[in-house]
Amino acid sequence: MEIISGWAMKSPSSSKGISQPNCDGAIDKRLTCEERDKAGSLLTTRADFCDKLHPFSQACKSPMYKSIESLHPGNFAFVMATGIISVALDAQGLSGLSLVFGVIAVAAWEILLLLCIIRVIGFYNAVFIDLTSPRMVFSYFTLVAATNIVGILLHNYGLPMLAVICWFIAFASWCLLLYLAFSVLTFMSHENNVNIMHGGWLITIVGTQSLVLLGIMIAPSFGQYAHYMMVEVHLLWGLGLALYGIFVTLFCYRIFFLSLKPQDLSPLLWVVMGAAAISANAGTSLLESQGQLAFLANQKPFIDGITLMIWSWATWLIPLLTLFGIWKHLVSKVPFAYEPTVWSMVFPLGMYTVASERIGHVAEFPPMIWISQVMILVALLAWVFSLTGLLSRIGRTLTAR
């Protein structure tokens, strides 16, 4: 992958039993033979794709256009990680540093959104293949979560109307992606086993609960219709929990009862913890909301218990995920190397920090606030480490040219 994309993730074609000798020239390394056949069947090389399908064939061959063509939707995880650390820093009273992270997050979101629009227009076949791949389609939920995180930042900066626009963009994207993803999983998946499951699927829950977080903040902007939004976010929170229960069951079965290789343990596993943390954070936001309808107010004891339970589950997962990393890199001696999925580890750490701090204040229990003060340091170190790897990757790419 080129320039911004030092971000390429392992793709469906790398799965056991998929790669075949006659597929080495596929349009994109992420494609299987079958997926390539859907896109154009007889095309065997990127040059063929450019010459026969793309109206701007010569431009398509340039390094920059190739970078955009192969741009991974999971790039928005950088925005998610940076934005939530900004929120966490602000909660810790570090408003100056929080502003720096916030500006970076908003700028990155704007750039990535522009590049994605260009990719949709110029490389619609590549986008179509991503959206019809069970391994890739769930990655697009990072757009939903990133847009809501940016909306939270804009709301904190005194721009509520822009935050409202972000919520509606995210909600529309979420609606389309949710039914598309499950349709692809149902009708287009050719792997009839749970091995297709990976931690990245739980970004669906992250996107769903991010709608809750921003929705609660913008609800007062709707005036007399604010109750409509509050009902909506309660429904979304419950749906997110239901989806989490489904996905985490499949995930645990895949991890604990099927063959597991060190290469199967990617930073995407941390999304399992991040989805729990954001669900706890969203639950806390519901508990703090005021002026609700009577039947919503009656839900607070239920929300209270579920929020604490899901936070404890996220806490339990942190040592387990750390042990997975130790087994992969120290026991199995798989060399540590930067990969773009590390941002999927940074975001959960930042979200867990925010969730712990907010629950500590709501429960008036200082130890949870102390936990958040430690975790913000861990999240910052992870962010700096990931950024260093990204810049190093970009530097090597530019040098190679």
83-124 pLDDT tens trace: 999 999 999 999 999 999 999 999 999 999 998 898 888 888
Q: What is the mean pLDDT of residues 133-152?
A: 91
Q: What is the mean pLDDT of residues 264-288?
A: 92
State the first-to-last Cα distance of the chain, in angstroms, to the nearest integer.
13
Residue with tokens 């109307």: 161
Looking at residue 267, the DSSP 8-state letter turns out to be: G
pLDDT at 217: 95
* 325 token code pair: 């990393």
pLDDT at 207: 95
pLDDT value at 18 more than 70 = no
Residue among 318, 327, 225, 314 nearest 277 (CA): 314
CB 6 within 8 Å of CB 13: no
Q: Where are the domains of the chain?
A: 1-66, 71-392
pLDDT band at 196 (very low <50, low <70, confident <90, very high): low
DSSP assignment string, 286-320: HHH--S--HHHHTTHHHHHHHHHHHHHHHHHHHHH
Give the whole-angstrom CA distance, residue 177 versus residue 146: 14
pLDDT at 191: 61
pLDDT at 260: 79
* 277 token code pair: 């943390």
More confident residue, 190 or 267: 267
CB 142 within 8 Å of CB 76: yes
Q: Residues 62, 79, 379, 136: is their CA dihedral positive or negative?
A: negative
- The number of angstroms, rounded, from the C-alpha of 392 to the middle of its chain's C-alpha atoms is 23
Give the whole-angstrom CA distance, residue 204 versus residue 192: 21
Give the whole-angstrom CA distance, residue 214 versus residue 173: 15
More confident residue, 157 or 391: 157
pLDDT band at 197 (very low <50, low <70, confident <90, very high): low
| pTM flag (> 0.85) | no
Q: What is the mean pLDDT of residues 227-236?
A: 94
CB 226 within 8 Å of CB 182: no
pLDDT at 40: 41
pLDDT value at 369 more than 60 = yes
Chain-wide mean pLDDT for the chain? 82
CB 281 within 8 Å of CB 355: yes
Q: Which of 54-68, 274-288, 302-316 has the lowest mean pLDDT?
A: 54-68
pLDDT band at 3 (very low <50, low <70, confident <90, very high): very low
SS3 of residue 141 by DSSP:
helix
Percentage of the chain beyond pLDDT 70 is 80
Give the whole-angstrom CA distance, residue 297 versus residue 303: 10
- CATH number of 71-392, picked from 3.60.15.10, 2.60.40.4070, 1.50.10.150, 1.10.150.120: 1.50.10.150
pLDDT value at 50 more than 50 = no
pLDDT at 36: 43
pLDDT value at 142 more than 90 = yes
pLDDT at 25: 37
- Which residues are CB-neighbours of 42 under 8 A, at least 6 positions away? none
pLDDT value at 35 more than 60 = no
pLDDT band at 201 (very low <50, low <70, confident <90, very high): confident
Give the whole-angstrom CA distance, residue 201 versus residue 224: 37
pLDDT at 252: 84
Give the whole-angstrom CA distance, residue 358 versus residue 372: 9
Residue among 111, 71, 64, 69 nearest 397 (CA): 64
pLDDT at 22: 40
CB atoms within 10 A of CB 123: 24
Burial group, residue 298, by CB count within 10 angstroms (0-12, 13-18, 19+): exposed
Q: What is the mean pLDDT of residues 362-374?
A: 93
How do the residues of the chain divide into helix, strand and coil, expressed in percent and rounded to 5?
Answer: 80, 0, 20
pLDDT value at 298 more than 60 = yes
pLDDT band at 69 (very low <50, low <70, confident <90, very high): confident
